[in-house]
Structure 1
Amino acid sequence: MSAAASGRQLAWLAAMPWVFVAIWSTGFVVARLAMPHAPPLTFLSWRYAASLLAFAVWIALARAPWPQGRAQWGHLAVSGVLMHAGYLGGVWAAVKLGMPAGTTALIVGLQPLFTALWVSRVAVAGQPAVTATQWAGLLLGLAGLVTVVWPKLNLGEVTPANLALALLALVSITTGTLYQKQHVLPADVRTGNFVQIAAALAVSAPLAWLEPGTLVWHPDLLVALAWSVLVLTLGGSSLLMVLIQRGAATRVTSLLYLVPPCTALLAWWLFGERMAASGWAGMALCAVGVGLVLRPPSR
């Protein structure tokens, strides 16, 4: 490999975590784009079905191996229901009920913080208890969240209903991540995702028949659907797989806390959603809190 080619490869490897953050941030904006034209579970059911078709083609062309054993299929299904149906369903329904995309991103973006705390305290044997510094970081993160959300309660942008849905999404993605770490063995990302998304579709599609509203095939909806399938599901999942394989999982987890400000900027640019100075201050508190939680303990 030439020096120029090697340099380009190193530059791409360094950029991958940032590209992943940029892709992840668009998920909340896509929800904002699509929700005027479709009920959330109906749209997500179409997204899951189209993603399954895309993954099936990819799996067939690559001859990707399937997970081994019924137990692994079951564990993938449970994690898929939590991480797709519960998480995405909560996020999209919260946006549908009027919660700004940036606020939704901030609430569910606390997931790596709570995951890190839970793993260090309970889930992983031999890990030290949560330190005083980490608890301080948790309290700062919660203070930042309250700083962002509290003014919006008075403005009517955050209501008990959409807040409950956003918290459902947070609980679902956190529980699903912990469940997958505990029970799911390493698997090909294409076939693993196929099983997870199929389980999410099996749960979401029947519920979609019960929700009010009808789907309107507006150009914005088509753009949102195409982006959700091709960029978020196929591209984002594949990029995350590469990052984890290269040992960048911890860095990706910490970079996820850049998602709320990125989402807020995109929502301001595309939809005119405004964030007050107190909101940006709250996001800064969250970032400082996460830095304290994820900082390696002193030796």
Structure 2
Amino acid sequence: MPTTATPRALLIAAMPALFVVLWSTGFIGARFVLPHSEPLTFLALRFALTAVLFLPVVWLTRARWPSRPALFGHAAVTGLLLHGIYLAGVFQGIEWGMPAGLASLIVGLQPLLTAVAAGPLLGERISARQWAGLGLGLAGVVLVLGEKMAPAGATLFQGFGWPAVAVCLFALVGITAGTLYQKRFCNGLDPRTGAVVQFGAGTVLMVALALLTGEDTTIAWTPEFVFGLVWLVVVLSVGAVTLLMVLLRMGEAARVASLFYLVPPVTALIAWLLFDERLGPVALSGMAVAVLGVAMTSGRRRPKAA
């Protein structure tokens, strides 16, 4: 007899798509807040508010704190990599003039790095078909954002220099390392208490970096800034990051990372809806190629034999 999918099964099936949409809004959110605050100052505020928001959730749901001191340390390292280094690099790169779309393209290379590292570090075997999917995903991302990389009448690096590129590459390393570290060392970590530790560690890092660099900590509390802050704290730091932690616990690291190939196309789509940044035929074709690549990469792999 045919069976009807339960609400829980439908929710689980929808989680990857929901994550992609939520994560994509992070690059858009940067456009709202950076004109009114320096990046490190904003991220320190964002991380601190997120940690505070998770505390009543932990208390009401009686979530378990890490049972071992080592697990506290692993959660803190994950926070420094997955939140601190990644977001600091992206926001600083955008602050230094890099287009948000190009920043998303650079960090969109994460699935390739994750796939290469997941084999020796996590024992995950990647098939030739999945390697082909990773290549297609990258090709799709390049097609979608090709015009942003080389706009008519402009050079690739017009408006920003190599420092902006370097910090975005640093962000790419941070999110790749954070994804692998989370999968390798934090499987026994409750995502609710883990979020408090991770965002707490990220707050300390951002405050330290802001003080060391002498960043201006003044914030202009405009309606646009408040909207961006609330969105990035509640929707991104709470909603999307929680989804990422759950997805990492449910699947292989390389498979989850392949979802990030869809972030640049979805970011471009949201930018079109909000800011009238139009997508041409090449960009639309790139979206289709990226989706196909993700579908190919998402096949299950067998662990390597011991």
Q: How does 1:18-37 map to 2 (within 5 A)?
A: 18-37=17-36
Q: CA deviation at 1:246?
A: 5.6
CA distance in 1, matches of 2:67, 2:6: 39
Deviates more, 1:12-21 or 1:23-32: 12-21
TM-score (ref. length: structure 2): 0.81
CA contact (8 A) 2:36 2:220 kept: yes
Q: CA deviation at 1:237?
A: 3.0
Letter in 1 for 2:31: R
CA distance in 2, matches of 1:12, 1:287: 20
SS at match of 2:155: helix
The alpha-carbon distance between structure 1 residues 97 and 194, as it changes in their structure 2 partners (threshold 3 A), is same
Letter in 2 for 1:154: T
CA distance in 1, matches of 2:301, 2:203: 42
* 5+ long unaligned stretches in structure 1: none
The alpha-carbon distance between structure 1 residues 9 and 182, as it changes in their structure 2 partners (threshold 3 A), is closer
Deviates more, 1:51-60 or 1:210-219: 210-219
Q: How does 1:121-132 map to 2 (within 5 A)?
A: 122-125=120-123, 127-128=124-125
CA distance in 2, matches of 1:227, 1:54: 13
Aligned-residue sequence identity (percent) comes to 45
Letter in 2 for 1:259: V
SS at match of 2:150: helix
Q: How does 1:1-299 map to 2 (within 5 A)?
A: 8-120=7-119, 122-125=120-123, 127-128=124-125, 148=146, 150-151=149-150, 154=155, 156=158, 159-209=161-211, 210-212=214-216, 214-243=218-247, 252-273=256-277, 293-295=297-299
CA distance in 1, matches of 2:178, 2:160: 25
Q: CA deviation at 1:261?
A: 0.8
CA distance in 2, matches of 1:275, 1:213: 37
Q: Deviations over 1:173-203 (max 9, x none)?
A: 0011222222224211111111111111111
The alpha-carbon distance between structure 1 residues 135 and 190, as it changes in their structure 2 partners (threshold 3 A), is closer
The alpha-carbon distance between structure 1 residues 243 and 131, as it changes in their structure 2 partners (threshold 3 A), is closer
CA contact (8 A) 2:183 2:248 kept: no
The alpha-carbon distance between structure 1 residues 249 and 86, as it changes in their structure 2 partners (threshold 3 A), is closer
SS at match of 1:154: coil
CA contact (8 A) 1:81 1:199 kept: yes
The alpha-carbon distance between structure 1 residues 292 and 18, as it changes in their structure 2 partners (threshold 3 A), is closer
Instruction: Kindly tell me the number of residue pairs found equivalent between the two proteins.
Output: 292
Letter in 2 for 1:78: V
SS at match of 2:98: coil
